[in-house]
A and B are shown apart, each in its own frame.
Chain A
Amino acid sequence: MHGGCAIRTIGTRGGRSLLLAGFVAALAATAGAAWLHEARSRSTVQAAAQSVSGRAVSTHAEHPQPPALTADEERFATALWVVHREATRLAVAMSFAGITYQIEDRDARALARKIEPMARFFHDAEAQVRAMSAPASLSRTQGQYVTAMALYANAADEMLKFTEDSNSQHLGDAHQMKMKASEDMLRVGEVLWPGQYKPH
């Protein structure tokens, strides 16, 4: 009679606790398994994405894109591009005129014939770009480009002086001016035409 009562009493309270504890444990186990499953799936997708992109280890931040030009700035960039396309070609042509003189013919008259139209172009370009209407935000850029054109024009004049008096100092001075001018053109290009350089 006592054992039965004891058992009934113990079974009622202890059993509930055990059941509750078991239920909580099962719930926790299910939640844990679900979390683990999700975590594994995420890392698999990330690994696949990395392998697809070809970046095994990549710690670099994304490059911030330069701000887009405004409509006025775009108009100026488009107008200047017409000058810049030819200025770039003639800047390189001026270098090659000097190279050809040194390594091929040493013909001062031939050098002069090549440089004269370049000198005219750069003098005209300096005036043309100076006269362009640039938005205030690009006034410094415009000034930089005018300076570059002036330097190229002066460099061409120096090379022509060399063809007259054979003083090689003129060539050295011209070279320094062209180095500076090309750096200035590069800086303008970075602002107005950032896509013009591609890996080679």
Chain B
Amino acid sequence: MGKRALQVRPFAWAAVIAALACLFGTAAQAQQPVCSVWLIESSRFMNVPFGSFMPDRAFVPGSTKPESNISTVDLPVNIGVIKCGSELILYDTGWKQQDYLKMTGSEHWAPIADQLKVLGFNASDVTKAVIGHAHWDHAGQLSDLPNAVLYVQREELKAVEWALNYPEPHIRAINSDPGGCYRTPACGYMPLTMEEVYGKVLKGKAVIVDGEMEILPGVRIHPAFRAHTAGSQLLEVPTSIGKLVFGSDAFSSYEGIRDWMTANVQQTDTVQQFLAYEKCYKITGGYNNCVAAHEPLSYTDKYPLTKNSWVALNGGRMAEIALAPGEKSRKP
């Protein structure tokens, strides 16, 4: 009897341990934090030649091919609003000066503070601002987020400083000529935007990131150097619909990620951009949960992640992407 009991016990113990493991595993899974996510259209660039946005989609007069029969597109400037418990994160922060609007033919702009109010948030509630890169249309309005800690890659800052001090004037110029700066190394880093970044650093409200960083449980910064600019960074966010990856201009186009086409080439190494796409595929299991900054199909059924959308301030659009358990819908 004793011997049989000894023989049975190992199996019994194994069964008990397995049961406990299942129990704790389930509990642990249930406790894994998830965030709620919305998307805000900060503004929209109107009538942009498709070919300047995606070189492989350049318009060919008379073409019937879907990849070359669209001459211009309207590009939203998308901001991610991410709520994880008591923390409110913005991924990219848009821009605000009305002068930019006039100069770029943009429409449907509204101040970030007002847009957040539509979702029931205050600008002062924002605890973190993760900028995908420091170009003027993605790193603006920082001074309107008084409590937000800015997260920017050291690699981004180093590259701009390098460019500014380069001997060749065309390479070091912010603007090569009155027509613009045509993707040279310091192109897009305008005085007002950079001064706002400096302001956050000066006030001790900036974290200079070196590569990977987990900023909250499950919320991770991934470097995507040269996928758009020298120090581009992605943001992985756990949600009830799976992981999302925000990519700013490394993920300028959802169709680009889906179809493996480069988009919005600035200080870009296209190989690095494709590797950034791959990173999203690996983290999320596909392309549908990659959040693009300028996708023309945003807020429509054709970009499914963003289809739960509505029109908000000044004709700008918003989308509710995912809600954490217990989070109420903020869609009007």
Residues of A within 8 A of B (CB): 51-55, 58, 60, 63, 66, 77, 81, 85, 88-89, 91-93, 95-96, 98-100, 102-103, 171-172, 175, 178-179, 181-183, 185-187, 189-190, 192-200
Residue interface mask B164-179, A partner, CB < 8 A = 1 = 1100000011111111
Q: Contact: B294 with A92, CB < 8 Å? A: no
Shortest distance from the beta carbon of B253 to any chain A beta carbon, whole Å: 12
Q: Would you call B118 an interface residue if the criterion is a C-beta within 8 Å of the partner chain's C-beta atoms?
A: no
Q: Is the interface of A mostly helix, strand, loop or mixed?
A: helix
Q: Contact: B137 with A189, CB < 8 Å? A: no
Residue interface mask B19-40, A partner, CB < 8 A = 1 = 0000000000000000000000
Nearest residue (CB) in A for B106 is A199
Residue numbers in A under 8 Å from B191 (CB-CB): 88, 91-92, 95, 178, 181-182, 185-186
Q: List 23 A-B contacts (CB under 8 A).
A: A52-B70, A52-B71, A53-B70, A54-B70, A55-B72, A85-B175, A89-B173, A89-B186, A92-B174, A95-B197, A98-B201, A103-B157, A178-B195, A179-B196, A179-B199, A182-B195, A186-B100, A186-B192, A190-B102, A194-B102, A196-B175, A199-B53, A200-B266
Residue numbers in A under 8 Å from B237 (CB-CB): none
- A53-B72, A200-B138 known; A93 and B195 CB under 8 Å? no
Residue numbers in B under 8 Å from A187 (CB-CB): 99
Residue numbers in A under 8 Å from B178 (CB-CB): 77, 81, 192-193, 195-196
Q: Contact: B180 with A89, CB < 8 Å? A: no
Bound form: Cα–Cα A81–B100 in Å: 18
Residue numbers in A under 8 Å from B303 (CB-CB): none
Residue numbers in B under 8 Å from A55 (CB-CB): 72, 74
Q: Contact: B180 with A92, CB < 8 Å? A: no
Q: Is the interface of B mostly helix, strand, loop or mixed?
A: mixed
Q: Contact: A196 with B179, CB < 8 Å? A: yes
Bound form: Cα–Cα A51–B164 in Å: 43
Residue numbers in B under 8 Å from A189 (CB-CB): 99, 103
Residue numbers in B under 8 Å from A197 (CB-CB): 100, 103-104, 136, 180, 190
Q: Contact: A53 with B99, CB < 8 Å? A: no
Q: Contact: B189 with A92, CB < 8 Å? A: yes
Residue numbers in B under 8 Å from A60 (CB-CB): 46, 107
Q: Contact: A85 with B48, CB < 8 Å? A: no
- A52-B69, A200-B138 known; A98 and B50 CB under 8 Å? no
Q: Contact: A93 with B165, CB < 8 Å? A: yes
**Chain B CB within 10 Å, residue with most, of A88, A92, A96:** A92
Bound form: Cα–Cα A190–B97 in Å: 11
Q: Would you call B296 an interface residue if the criterion is a C-beta within 8 Å of the partner chain's C-beta atoms?
A: yes
Q: Would you call B135 an interface residue if the criterion is a C-beta within 8 Å of the partner chain's C-beta atoms?
A: yes
Shortest distance from the beta carbon of B113 to any chain A beta carbon, whole Å: 17
Bound form: Cα–Cα A193–B190 in Å: 14
Number of A-B contacts (CB under 8 A): 157
Nearest residue (CB) in A for B294 is A199
Q: How many residues of B contact A (CB 8 A)?
A: 63
Bound form: Cα–Cα A171–B199 in Å: 10
Residue numbers in B under 8 Å from A181 (CB-CB): 191
Q: Contact: B102 with A179, CB < 8 Å? A: no
Q: Contact: B180 with A196, CB < 8 Å? A: yes
**Chain A CB within 10 Å, residue with most, of B53, B192, B197, B264:** B192
Q: Would you call B6 an interface residue if the criterion is a C-beta within 8 Å of the partner chain's C-beta atoms?
A: no
Nearest residue (CB) in B for A66 is B102
Q: Contact: A54 with B73, CB < 8 Å? A: yes
Q: Contact: A98 with B161, CB < 8 Å? A: no
Bound form: Cα–Cα A93–B160 in Å: 9
Q: Contact: B173 with A85, CB < 8 Å? A: yes
Q: Would you call B105 an interface residue if the criterion is a C-beta within 8 Å of the partner chain's C-beta atoms?
A: yes
7 other contacts beyond A89-B164, A98-B198, A193-B175, with CB at 8 A cut-off? A85-B176, A96-B161, A181-B191, A185-B191, A187-B99, A192-B178, A197-B100
Please report which residues of chain B, range 238-278, place their CB below 8 angstroms from some CB of chain A when the two chains form the complex.
Answer: 249, 264, 266
Contacting B190 at CB < 8 Å: which of A81, A92, A102? A92
Q: Would you call B58 an interface residue if the criterion is a C-beta within 8 Å of the partner chain's C-beta atoms?
A: no
Please report which residues of chain B, range 43-95, place their CB below 8 angstroms from some CB of chain A when the two chains form the complex.
Answer: 45-46, 48, 50, 53, 69-75
Shortest distance from the beta carbon of B223 to any chain A beta carbon, whole Å: 17
Q: Would you call B188 an interface residue if the criterion is a C-beta within 8 Å of the partner chain's C-beta atoms?
A: yes
Nearest residue (CB) in A for B137 is A200
Q: Would you call B181 an interface residue if the criterion is a C-beta within 8 Å of the partner chain's C-beta atoms?
A: yes
Bound form: Cα–Cα A151–B273 in Å: 40
Shortest distance from the beta carbon of A179 to any chain B beta carbon, whole Å: 6
Residue numbers in A under 8 Å from B175 (CB-CB): 85, 88, 193, 196
Residue interface mask B95-117, A partner, CB < 8 A = 1 = 00101101111010000000000
Nearest residue (CB) in B for A54 is B70
Contacting A99 at CB < 8 Å: which of B70, B103, B157, B181? B157
